[in-house]
Every structure is written in structure tokens, then in C-alpha cells.
Amino acid sequence: MLLAVDVGNTQTVMGLYEDERLLAHWRVATDAADTGDELALRIHALFALEALGDAPVTDVAIASVVPPLTEQWRQLAARLATTPALIVDSGTDTGLPIAYGDPTEIGADRLADAVAAVELYGAPCIVVDFGTATNIEVIDRTGAFVGGVIAPGLATSAQALFDAAARLAKTSIDVPPRVIGASTREAVQSGLTFGEIDRIDGLVRRIVDELGYPATVIATGGLSARVTGLSRTIDTVNDDLTLEGLRIIHRRVRGRQGRG
């Protein structure tokens, strides 16, 4: 079995795969101070909740944007799995053509999203990943990663607003019943949710104009469910896209190693 791990700045998403079948899926808060032992306790507790017991983890694939946790996950993988962990980064041969100024700047999560999008939905495609940052990844009709957009995420924008405006009380990030807020709470929610999705739709339209042809738009990420229903450009939602990308990259890399 493969344990795929996407370590983000705010949340860590994990998935346990048996071949291509996702057996279990978890989303937990990321704590950059976690040790390998603390991560192990968390994993065992999650396995127990799903009645997985001592599920035989043979492989671990990791995408991490939190450097202190990358090594901790590597150490844990050495205890869990029977093979060394695959740490996906810009140097990994993912099979995805890269047409980008400096490929070392591309985060592992962006690579995984792009790989999964091309395999599952075909090229050209655009991925909108709603996380701490809202990332937009663009894959052209040749199947090459050509770049994208990085912007503050929905929760990040909300926190910045609440921190900067002393008289605005924190409110939940929910879609209000109308754009014209009938209260301060609704007005803030409108600005955050409708503002975010209109920003995404506007950027996607600009990207399509630059490409010169239409592309399938896939949304993913922990906050995608909050606003994707409002979008006029997003075609489908796949909350497991990054995990799927890790699974596909792992299959490709291990397959080449097996042939070697």
C-alpha cells in the first residue's frame, strides 16, 4: 500500500492507496514543530479510526512545502514502509514536460496537481488549488507545465483583513445570500467569497485568452468547496488531485527504477 502525504502550510492531507484505489483520506492541521514520533502517533490514531489496524504500508510518497517537516516525514516513512520514501521536488522526473523559467521554483504540490490533471483530464488544462495560497497551474495543449498564478488564499486574505481592520470582527467564511451585504458580517463574507471566485474567474479568462484556446479547469484544495459552486469557469472539482498526482508520480518513478 502507498501512503501519499501532501504537507501544506496550513493543512496536511494524507491518502492510503491500494493500487489505484483510495482506501482512506485524512486532512489535519499542519504543525511545523511536529517530530517524527508525534507524526507516528497521529498516523496510528488515524489508521485506528478507519479500522485499518496495522495496514501494510510498503511505500510513502511525500510532497512538502514545509522544510522542517520534510525530514520528519522521511524518518517516519523509514519506520512505516519497506522502501525509502519518495520525496517529490523539482528534481523528480515526474514525466511532466516543464516550460518554466526556473523549474527549481515549482513547489511539489504544484507539480503533483499538474501531473494528475493531465493524466485524469487531458491537456490543455488549468488547475485552481485553494489553499494557504490560491495557486493556478497552467498546462498547455502539448502537455507542458508553462506557469501559473500564485495569490493569497481565501483564509489568508480573510486573516489579513481581520488583522488590519480593528473594528471588523472575525466571521466565518461562508457564502452570504446576496452580494449586497445587509450587515457588516454579510458584507465581509460577500467580499471574501464572491471576491475570491470573481478573481479566479477573471484570471482563468485571461489565461485562456493568452493560451488562445479553451482548457479544462479543475478545482482542488481544502477551501474549494466553499466557493467553486459560484464559479462560471471551473468545470470540475477533485479534492484528491494532489494525492492522485503523488500516486501517479510514485508509479512512474518506481516503474522506471524497476526497469533499471
Instruction: Write out pLDDT tens, residues 39-67.
Output: 999 988 998 888 886 668 999 999 999 99
End position of a domain, from candidates 36, 53, 87:
87
Residue among 107, 130, 149, 116 nearest 216 (CA): 116
174 in catalytic set: no
Clarify whether residues 53 and 134 are in a common domain. Answer: no
pLDDT of residue 166: 73
Clarify whether residues 217 and 132 are in a common domain. Answer: yes
Confidence of residue 259 (pLDDT cuts 50, 70, 90): very low
End position of a domain, from candidates 87, 118, 141:
87
Asked if 72 and 34 count as a contact pair (C-beta separation under 8 A), the reply is yes
Clarify whether residues 33 and 114 are in a common domain. Answer: no
Cα–Cα distance measured from residue 124 to residue 208, given in angstroms and rounded to the nearest whole number: 10
Expressed as residue numbers, the domain containing 45 is 2-87
Residue 93 lies inside a defined structural domain of this protein: no
**pLDDT tens-digit readout, 162-172:** 888 877 778 88
pLDDT of residue 226: 75
**Helix/strand/coil (H/E/C) assignment for every residue in 209-240:** HHHCCCCEEEEECCCHHHHHHHCCCCCEECCC
What CATH number does the domain containing 37 carry? Answer: 3.30.420.40
Clarify whether residues 187 and 108 are in a common domain. Answer: yes
Residue 119 lies inside a defined structural domain of this protein: yes
pLDDT of residue 127: 98
Clarify whether residues 48 and 128 are in a common domain. Answer: no
Percent of all residues in the chain with a pLDDT value above 90, rounded to a whole number: 73
Residue 81 lies inside a defined structural domain of this protein: yes
Overall domain count for the chain: 2
Clarify whether residues 184 and 237 are in a common domain. Answer: yes
pLDDT of residue 258: 62
Clarify whether residues 197 and 124 are in a common domain. Answer: yes
Residue 251 lies inside a defined structural domain of this protein: no
Clarify whether residues 61 and 189 are in a common domain. Answer: no
Residue 228 lies inside a defined structural domain of this protein: yes
- Within 10 Å of residue 254's Cβ, how many Cβ atoms? 15
- Assigned C-alpha cell, 1: 500500500
List of residues 6+ apart from 88 with CB closer than 8 A: 61, 62, 63, 94, 108, 111, 112, 246, 249
Clarify whether residues 79 and 147 are in a common domain. Answer: no
Clarify whether residues 167 and 44 are in a common domain. Answer: no
Clarify whether residues 240 and 128 are in a common domain. Answer: yes
Clarify whether residues 109 and 235 are in a common domain. Answer: yes
- Assigned C-alpha cell, 29: 492541521
How much is the mean pLDDT over the chain? 92
Range with top average pLDDT, 10-19, 83-92, 204-213, 215-224: 204-213
Among the listed residues 34, 59, 109, 113, the single catalytic one is 109
**pLDDT tens-digit readout, 113-138:** 999 999 999 999 999 999 889 999 99
End position of a domain, from candidates 61, 87, 113:
87
